[in-house]
Structure 1
Amino acid sequence: MISGNLRSILIVDDNPLNRFLITTMVNKIVVDVTIQQAENGYDALHFFKSISPDLIFMDIKLPDLNGFEVIKQIRNLETENRTPIIVISGNQASDENHLKNENLIDAYLEKPIRFTELKAILDTIFY
């Protein structure tokens, strides 16, 4: 179980089922964490500014402001600490390469998300 360094998580996905599944998996791995959920890019930016999460799960295909733009805006808003961002998407080849080349993300999870992959990434980021 991960604890201590990880107090708040923001999950951004327009699909409520995906948000639910990620929340359920994270709660099995991380103890004493607050999870906020956003269904679009504008809400994601609002939550980022108001809660300063310790980790963000970001879907790329959002209905209004897409994940690429949200990630770029988050990186521009950061002043001291860099927030780990894990992209969740079904289009790995183009999404991951673009974001990693610009050094904007910390990890990538392909949908459907598998528990063992999620746990391995969290262990890598927080240990």
Structure 2
Amino acid sequence: MKLNNLKVLVVDDYQKMRQGLCATLKPLDLNISEASNGVEALKALRQDKFDVVFTDLVMPEMDGFELCEEIRKTPEWADMPIVVISTHYDSRYIVKALRQGADDYIPKPVEPETVKRVLDRILTPTILRENHEQNN
């Protein structure tokens, strides 16, 4: 799957973490916007159309769990892929994030190849993936 020009929103309260993730995503030729918490992310989502949201979990004002929940209950965003990227790699965090609507969970630090594999998986409809696997 071609990822170039895919519009992604990176949400993390730590500027260095956002910058690091953006630097990791840059070689994938993605169109990247940033937000520092869930409230800013919702504002960005209302102002522009995004293909994927990458979010941290622990943030002020609105955390990643709440952001996932808000995205899922808003009809125009309900199908938008959400990838949680967090230093918290405890099963409680992972299960809660997935229950709140995240499509995948990647531990920090993030490798570009991991992001590419996750994006390929979540952006390819299941039926196309199954047909491709059967033909290979």
TM-score tier, shorter chain, comes to 0.7 to 0.9
* Per-residue CA distance 1:73-123 (angstroms, 9 max, x = gap): 1111133761000001111221211122x2611111111212232222122
Q: Secondary structure at the match of 1:109?
A: strand
Please tell me the residue identity of whatever aligns with 1:82.
Answer: D
Q: Secondary structure at the match of 1:18?
A: helix
Q: Secondary structure at the match of 2:80?
A: coil
Q: How does the TM-score come out when normalised to structure 2?
A: 0.80
- Structure number, greater radius of gyration: 2
Cross-structure match for 1:113: 110
Cross-structure match for 2:128: none
Is the Cα–Cα contact under 8 Å of residues 71 and 78 in structure 2 kept in the other structure? no
Worse-superposed segment, 52-61 or 106-115: 106-115
Q: For the residues of structure 2 that align with 1:86 and 1:18, how far apart are their CA atoms?
A: 15
Cross-structure match for 2:44: 47
1:72 shift after superposition: 0.6
Cross-structure match for 2:20: 21
Is the Cα–Cα contact under 8 Å of residues 72 and 104 in structure 1 kept in the other structure? yes
How many positions carry a matched residue from both structures? 123
Structure 1 outlier segments of 4+, above 3 Å = none
| Matching residue within 84, 89, 97 for 2:81 | 84
Q: How does the TM-score come out when normalised to structure 1?
A: 0.85
Could you list the runs of 5+ residues in structure 1 that have no partner in the other structure? none
Could you list the runs of 5+ residues in structure 2 that have no partner in the other structure? 125-136
* Per-residue CA distance 1:20-63 (angstroms, 9 max, x = gap): 1211221211x3x4211001111011011111210000110001
Q: Secondary structure at the match of 2:24?
A: helix
